[in-house]
Structure 1
Amino acid sequence: MTSTATPTPAPTPATPALRPAQIPPNGLYEGRRVLRRLPDGVAERPYELFDVAPQSATIGAEISGVDLSRPLTPALREELDRALLEWKVLFFRRQHLNSAQQRAFARNWGELETNPLLETGDSDDVVRFDKGASGPPSFENVWHTDVTFRTRPAMGAVLQLREVPERGGDTMWADMAAAYDNLPQEVRDRIDRATAEHDFLPGFRRFYGPERLAPLQDVFPPVSHPVVRTHPQNGRRMLFVNTSFTTRIHGLERAESDELLRLLFQQAHVPEFQVRFRWQAGDIAFWDNRATQHYAVNDYGNARRVAERVAIAGDRPH
């Protein structure tokens, strides 16, 4: 009888040793992004009254075939509203509206609001940004959502560039629904029912002294908003904190609140959630202020950049 020897298994290679290394917690997260443009249950539908050219996966679309100087028909207004909900910021090239036409277009979405903290144009509800060597300071080089220090922040805004620098001066927008979707589940669990304080002072302290700001403290006391708001029209959940105005998360110690806010603020910085628009004179951007943050890029030195913005009054976030 012949015996068969059991072969000796080859030795398993030792796992190479690595030096200790760890990325600091609560940073930006690597990997694949969830880029969901439409809310669950909302089907894609064609547009019949204009052409739509998407500018990114989830945010930003250029609209052609619409003359904004003319009154909107109910059907056109409905389609533009649907496009705004789907793309969050709409771009219209070379419209060259006067202030009255720009205000009339914005009024299709509600009453206009004023802002006593900013320079005005032809009327109190037109904000004018005239930037150059001697222009007044304004919100540039910072991600923010407009006027979240109000009890009812703006629903949206219509911005027109009247004069553009030869180079630079772009504006970027970030999709805050995508920002929320891509947070780790454990972070979403922490913030889904949280509220945060918003105050106008941190943002405007960079521009004005106490003499200008002190009288407005009673006009704009700190307000509380949900950290994650629900869109009133489509039910989408969106991150609703921003660097300029959100000061703390209620119920947390200051250090814990600061750490969590730093993490949430970083979500606007993810390129996959952004769209960048290169302006030409007469262009219009119409954005959903409930669902976005934006960033005006000041990379044009002392060149002149003139813009006018009309803001549409909004509802109380929930």
Structure 2
Amino acid sequence: MKIKKLQGSFGAKVCNIDLKSDLEREALQKIQTAFVKYQLLIFPSQKLEPKHQLTWSKHFGPIQKLYAEEHRVPDCPEVVVLSNEQINGKHVGVVAAGDYWHSDLSPSKNPGLATILYARRLPLEGGDTEFADMHMAYQTLSTKMRERIANLRGIHCVSKLRNHRVKVTRPGGRAYYKKQNEIPDVSHPLVRTHPVSGLKSLYLSPRFTIGIENMENIKAQPLLDELFAHQIKPEHVYRHKWKIDDLVMWDNRSLNHRACGGYKTDDIRRIHRTSTLGDQPF
């Protein structure tokens, strides 16, 4: 096994390893340590069935079962299908998932920890995923800004219908998000401390963070806009160009991400996703 750091502030490629094999404890611990250190791990040239992906994911926390049943792998329902593919006129997976910058499941009391994606089928062009380093975004803020946001809490909302920064792009999405209007908002610190590394990072996103607790919008929205723009400066971002059989996993406690789109509706992209449950941000 070889772990090679990517250029930039985060990310690493892990080669010469078969994730469906039984790893020795020392090798697994090395990868778990690298996961926290590098925040994003890329495992190229894997040959995995859904059951293998699920088994691997369990090493990084309790599995979360997400989305509707029709969007899950039938014999392995913890694995979600992200795809624009249709069979008999019906989408087999979640369409337009992750199309705005976000950290997974942040509108939850206990948001996501690891997200693991495995590329099964890719379009001829487009379909990249971008990641932004929230540790670096925090560290490069001015001292004045760090002091200003030190004790503030962001309001995280799951429904797109209550967020003026995003649009509904999923087929049937308005009805889907209308139901989500009933889900209560959650607040988290704008500055989150990683429970393992102890490093601080920004914890907000244009997809989910709609306000700041105990702050009027006339002040909160410009502050959020400034922080959102800072998060995605080029020096904080890595863009992953997928290859078939890539498995990519990341730490939602310190990275934001988004699906870049850019492929035609009849050019099939199929990604299998697993997710693990994290802890309450502090």
TM-score computed with the length of structure 2 as normaliser: 0.88
Contact 2:188 2:281 in 1 (8 A): yes
Give a deviation string over 1:252-279, Cα, whole Å, max 9, x none: 1111110011111112321111212211
Give a deviation string over 1:187-235, Cα, whole Å, max 9, x none: 11111111111110127971345643454455x3211111110000010
Q: Of residues 168, 173, 176 in structure 2, which corresponds to 1:212?
A: 176
Quote the Cα distance in structure 2 between the aligned partners of 1:211 and 1:166.
31
Equivalent residues in 2 for 1:227-238 (5 A)?
227-238=190-201
Q: CA deviation at 1:140?
A: 4.6
Tell which deviates more after alignment, 115-124 or 157-166. 115-124
Q: CA deviation at 1:167?
A: 2.1
Q: Does 1:93 align with 2:51?
A: no
Q: Does 1:257 align with 2:220?
A: yes
Contact 1:56 1:274 in 2 (8 A): no
Equivalent residues in 2 for 1:53-72 (5 A)?
53-72=4-23
Amino acid at match of 1:176: M
Q: CA deviation at 1:251?
A: 1.8
Quote the Cα distance in structure 1 between the aligned partners of 2:273 and 2:56.
12
Quote the Cα distance in structure 1 between the aligned partners of 2:194 and 2:151.
15
Q: Does 1:120 align with 2:120?
A: no
Equivalent residues in 2 for 1:1-318 (5 A)?
50-116=1-67, 119-122=71-74, 123-131=76-84, 135=91, 136-202=94-160, 206=168, 207=170, 208-209=172-173, 211-218=175-182, 220-302=183-265, 303-318=267-282
Corresponding residue SS for 1:75: helix
Distance 1:120 1:308, change over 3 A: same
Give a deviation string over 1:139-183, Cα, whole Å, max 9, x none: 354211111011100111110010011222111111100011111
Distance 1:236 1:117, change over 3 A: farther
Amino acid at match of 1:265: F
Contact 1:71 1:105 in 2 (8 A): no
Quote the Cα distance in structure 1 between the aligned partners of 2:145 and 2:38.
26
* Unaligned 5+ runs, structure 1: 1-49
Contact 2:153 2:213 in 1 (8 A): yes
Quote the Cα distance in structure 2 between the aligned partners of 1:132 and 1:96.
21
Q: Percentage identity across aligned positions?
A: 27
Contact 2:128 2:259 in 1 (8 A): yes
* Unaligned 5+ runs, structure 2: none
RMSD of aligned residue pairs (Cα, Å): 2.1
Contact 2:67 2:80 in 1 (8 A): no
Quote the Cα distance in structure 1 between the aligned partners of 2:73 and 2:269.
14
Quote the Cα distance in structure 1 between the aligned partners of 2:83 and 2:48.
17
Q: CA deviation at 1:116?
A: 3.1
Distance 1:277 1:209, change over 3 A: closer
Corresponding residue SS for 1:113: coil
Amino acid at match of 1:103: L
Quote the Cα distance in structure 1 between the aligned partners of 2:65 and 2:178.
19
Quote the Cα distance in structure 2 between the aligned partners of 1:63 and 1:311.
20
Corresponding residue SS for 2:207: coil
Q: Size of the alignment, in residue pairs?
A: 268
Corresponding residue SS for 2:226: helix
Distance 1:111 1:140, change over 3 A: closer
Distance 1:172 1:213, change over 3 A: closer
Quote the Cα distance in structure 2 between the aligned partners of 1:56 and 1:274.
11
Quote the Cα distance in structure 2 between the aligned partners of 1:73 and 1:152.
30
Q: CA deviation at 1:304?
A: 0.9
